[in-house]
Structure 1
Amino acid sequence: MRYTDIAIIGGGLAGSTAAAMLERAGIPAILIDPHRVYPPELRCEKLDGRQVDILRKTGLAEAVLRAATWDGSVWIARFGYLLDKKPSDQRGILYDTLVNTMRAEIRSDAGIVHAKATAISTTRERQKIALSNGEEISARLVVLANGLNIGLRHTLGIERRVISECHSITLGFDIAPLGRAKFDFPALTWYPERSRDRMAYLSLFPIDGTMRANLMVYRAVDDPWFRQLRQTPEQALLAMMPGLDRIAGSFKVTGQIRTRPADLYVSSGHRRPGVVLVGDAFATSCPAAGTGTNKVFTDVERLCNHYIPAWLSTEGMGEDKIAAFYGDPVKTACDAWSTAKAFHLRSLSTDNGVSWRARRWARFIVRAGEGALRQLSDEAGAPQYHGANATRILSGPALPWQHERKR
């Protein structure tokens, strides 16, 4: 039997971040995960400025930012028109690189056990975990960070309720320019032209010299369109996004196209002594909404910076302590925002009601206005931002009202 204060089951982003934070704080913790090196997986592939701000609170931001690729600015296209070239603070990083970077911050060899947790029993005082390698671990608190794996949660009576099955599907692939060394844009976000395409957006962004593509769609997993995309990817993309080649130039999809369907679910029966759930183990988010990393970093930062140190200062690990974390106002606000954004973006992308069509056009007009103002400011000699990645604004086809003005 090995004894520790905190046992973390699951070595993805949530678990690895928690383990690294607790080690920095001098709190005995053991991370349990079978992978010595976390394998490639289609999940978070970039961080935005808001996520980096939360990451800084963990004390681990510098290592992650060194491993990520900053884009500096992003071109915005909607309805086939290039609307803006705006400053950006996106950082591209593959999920396995992100997780392995976090793990590298765990300095102690004793801090990670490469095995699977096969059984768990809990009390108000100590928790016992049986491992696939025959070991047992006794801990004051178990942090369940094992994502979509529901086996251990069911043994504890923790259930999950699906609130939106196959809410969205993420496709990840690399894309390369044809006939030239690189794309003209540092990054590009393309919003759809037609609601019937059931598309949220296409995001192109750099990672280590490669242009990465994340395409977010709302389709059934057996939709024939996915077969078309794999067989003739360039044609399928241009059919969905006419004019993409006019802005991006000729291109070729390279490497494997990875697919990840996402169900939205929430946990129930989780307020139990000795166990706390974080990240996807507690509730999932929609990758298209881009809030999953916010939820992970918020959960782990609140738990490790605020609750675990306080809990360990007194005896026991009862349900009252655990409930305080689930009721944390910062966490609950982040969870509610994430769920609301998931449903709002899906309706904004696919709903044909009058109000949603009006919102889509309103967003188009706002984006176009922002781009036009940025262009005027730049032409007047007052650029909105500086640096090697600064670009001039708006090139490409004229907007609809510009055609009218020219006539």
Structure 2
Amino acid sequence: MSEEYVPVLIVGGGIAGLTAALLLQHHGVGAVLAEKHAGTSPQPKARRFNPRSNEVFRALGLSEEIAEAGAPLAKFTGMLTGPTLAEATWPEMTPQLTAAAVQHAELARLSPAPSVLCPQDVLEPVLRRAAEARGARLRFGTELVAVKQDADGVLAELRPADGEPYTVVADYLIAADGARSPIRESLGIPRTGAGHLADNLDVCFRADLAELVRGKEFNLCRIENPAASGAFVSVNGTDVWLFSTSDFPVGDRRARDLGDEEWASLLREVIGVSDVDIEILSKMPWESGMYVAERFAEGRVFLAGDAAHAMPPMAAAGANTAIADVANLTWKLAAVLAGNAPATLLDSYHAERYPIGYATAAFSSQVSGHLGTMLKAITSGDTQRADIGATMFGVQYPEGAFVADDRGPSPEDHYAPGARPGTRIPHAWLGRDGDQVSTLDLVGPGFALLTGPDGEAWQRAAAEVTAESGLTVEVCRIGTDVTDLSDDDGGWLAAAELTGTGAVLVRPDAVVAWHSPTCPERPAEALGKALSQVLGR
């Protein structure tokens, strides 16, 4: 049996796996991705990618391509409700919905990347093409047969659908192999959480409904009908749609026995148009549930995405959390593989991502049932209220690869950035060489040191640290090297709680590693110590 070496083996070619492959390439790490299916997902599945996820795509230079791929759904942002799609109307603007709309509008000021509506079956091919073009070795139609690890590495047996099995030797393995994750099960990692919530069935179909929905372009449409309750989902906004329902649980005779013609007849009832031509494209049963692995890592194996935390699809929380997982993990793997950090840095992956994954899964599990049930809870204000800016940009890791300061945790009821260690760096628009860039654009693929306009001492300090440690720290003085275009009082420095001589060290995943409000007497010593603490050197 032939043998191949690779620094990182990724198992699973969905959003988590493909994003991990792209990020590893971004950080200069070779990877092999193995996916048992011959192609990317044929199902729309996750569709709404929030600004934080789009910031990751922006760092990879893919946000514009993804926006173009999702352009047919650009206007499909609303929520409808009714007994049929034809009779559906916009929900009443309750105080809760009004407050949520205001918060969503505020997101545009807090991030350089808007949320994007791009179905998973459209997004994944974009990620796959980019990964292949950038040199990632993607092995679709290749199944993981067996895997074992020891203190020196991971040994995996892969079997292509059209070839002989072969062995891959890797330093580390990312298990992005889905909610049922054979890798997680082989490691004996238990899961906790609310467990099973509902059985669902997604029916993807083709029907020309463009005129029917004109003027009421929707993202989701809740249906309460004797024939079937659930929700319509816009896939391309013209002739491809999805109906999701929990009225036909797995094993139910109707779900098993209904043929395409029967489904087409049922869909006409819930659409409310009797003569529309319908072609059934696929039917996919799935479980809505909350299952969170007790450990996101075991030795040299790391769980990401649904393998680590399966959750209901409220606001595509699972996919967005998966992207954050691999953004967190890949730079750490790169640092260890390059010899810039000890392997103990990787312990911070579980420490940082587990609490976030569990909290997100719990929040998404407030409502059991089908997508329509979730939609009803959102529009009626029956779900737990949360400040969108705080939960998206102000989330603070409780512990991990950063140097905590004495300011305490970020507030949860509103977004107050402060550039606290363990949080995402605040966004502000900057001017550089006639172009507009974000503070987030100054970050990665290595560490960045963002300083006030009087940060000359930090430039000398970073050069000294680089010479001594071999680590490169890119320095940018806000207000000198770039112009602060922020309209906020005090600009970015005030938002980051820095003086003109202060500095903030930012990790490659745009998370603040260390905050120094002013320049200390020995900046090189302070910076070197902080960097060592962050990396665990």
- Name the amino acid aligned to 1:293: A
Once the two structures are TM-superposed, the CA of residue 70 in structure 1 deviates from its matched residue by 3.0
**1:344 and 2:367 are equivalent in the alignment:** yes
Count of residue correspondences: 348
For residues 271 and 73 of structure 1, do their structure 2 counterparts lie closer, same or farther at Cα, with a shift above 3 Å needed? closer
Q: How does 1:3-402 map to 2 (within 5 A)?
A: 3-35=5-37, 37-38=39-40, 40-41=42-43, 43-45=45-47, 47=49, 51-53=53-55, 55-68=57-70, 69-80=72-83, 82-83=89-90, 93-106=118-131, 107=133, 111-114=137-140, 115-132=142-159, 133-160=164-191, 163-165=194-196, 167-177=198-208, 183-184=213-214, 185-187=216-218, 189-193=220-224, 199=229, 201-206=231-236, 209-217=238-246, 220-224=249-253, 226=255, 230-233=260-263, 235-237=265-267, 245=272, 251-264=276-289, 265-268=291-294, 270-287=296-313, 290-305=316-331, 307-314=332-339, 320-328=344-352, 332-344=355-367, 346=369
- Residues 270, 39 of structure 1: CA spacing in aligned structure 2 closer, same or farther, 3 A cutoff? closer
Shift of 1:50: 6.0
AA aligned opposite 2:120: Y
Distance 1:279 1:112, change over 3 A: same
Which consecutive residues of structure 1, in runs of 5 or more, have no partner in the other structure? Answer: 352-356, 364-407
Higher relative CO (Cα under 8 Å, sequence separation at least 6) belongs to 1
C-alpha contact (below 8 Å) 1:198/1:349 kept by paired residues: no
Partner SS state of residue 278, structure 2: strand
Question: 1:279–1:75: structure 2 CA closer, same or farther, 3 Å change rule?
Answer: closer
Q: Which amino acid aligns with 2:89?
A: L
Amino acid of the residue matched to residue 25 of structure 2?
E
Partner of 1:382: none
Q: Cα 1:147–1:222, aligned 2, differ >3 Å: closer, same or farther?
A: same
Quote the offset at 1:251 in angstroms.
3.9
User: Is the CA contact (8 Å cut-off) linking 2:178 and 2:305 kept in structure 1?
Assistant: yes
1:34·1:116 contact (CA, 8 Å) conserved in 2? yes
Mapped to 2, the partners of 1:233 and 1:284 lie a distance apart of 29
The structural deviation recorded for 1:157 is 2.9
Q: What amino acid is aligned across from residue 212 of structure 1 in structure 2?
A: W
| Alpha-carbon distance, 1:278 to partner | 0.4
Identity of aligned residues (%): 18
Which residue type is aligned with residue 213 of structure 1?
L
Is the 8 Å Cα contact of residues 45 and 94 (structure 1) preserved in structure 2? yes
Deviations 1:123-152 (A, max 9, x none): 333222222234322222111111145433
How far the C-alpha of 1:8 sits from its partner, in A, is: 0.9
- CA distance in 2 between counterparts of 1:362 and 1:263 reads 21
Alignment CA distance shift 1:291-1:250 (3 Å): farther
* Structure 1 match to 2:440: none
Distance 1:10 1:253, change over 3 A: same
Whether the aligned pair in 2 keeps the contact of 1:92 and 1:206 (CA below 8 Å) is no
Amino acid at match of 2:233: S
Conservation of the 8 A alpha-carbon contact between 2:5 and 2:170: yes
TM-score under structure 1 length normalisation: 0.69
Q: Distance in 2 between matches of 1:152 and 1:12?
A: 15
CA distance 1:90–1:155, shift in 2 (3 Å): closer
Deviation larger for 229-238 or 287-296: 229-238
Native 8 Å contact 2:34 2:138 kept in 1? yes
Q: Is the 8 A contact 2:8 2:32 kept in 1?
A: yes
Change (3 A) 1:189 1:151: closer
- What is the alpha-carbon distance in structure 1 between the residues aligned to residue 312 and residue 292 of structure 2? 12
Q: Look up the SS of the partner of 2:365 in the other structure.
A: helix
Instruction: Please report how far the alpha carbon of residue 315 of structure 1 lies from its aligned counterpart in structure 2 after TM superposition.
Output: 8.1
User: Do the aligned partners of 2:13 and 2:34 also contact (CA within 8 Å) in 1?
Assistant: yes
- Cα 1:349–1:40 change in 2 (3 A) is closer
Contact kept in structure 2, 1:166 and 1:220, CA below 8 Å: no
Q: Secondary structure at the match of 1:83?
A: coil
Q: Secondary structure at the match of 1:146?
A: coil
CA separation in 2, counterparts of 1:283 and 1:358? 22
CA distance in 2, matches of 1:347, 1:172: 13
1:276 shift after superposition: 0.3
Map Cα deviations across residues 173-209 of structure 1 (whole Å, 9 max, x no partner): 234247x866424335322448x988453223426x5
Query: Partners in 2 of 1:160 and 1:260 — Cα distance?
Result: 22
- The 1:66/1:9 distance shift into structure 2, 3 A limit, reads same
Q: Per-residue CA shift, 1:14-71, capped at 9, x if unaligned?
A: 1111112211221122212345533524632454556535543554333322322333
Shift of 1:337: 2.1
Q: Deviations over 1:313-362 (max 9, x none)?
A: 448975x4443112216x632541233222335499669xxxxx999756
Question: 1:372: which partner in 2?
Answer: none
One-letter amino acid matched to 1:326 = H
The Cα RMSD (Å) is: 4.1
Change (3 A) 1:283 1:96: same
Residues 292 and 266 (structure 1 numbering): CA distance in 2 closer, same or farther, change over 3 Å?
same
Q: Mean alpha-carbon deviation: is it higher for 224-233 or for 71-80?
A: 224-233
Paired residue secondary structure (2:360)? helix
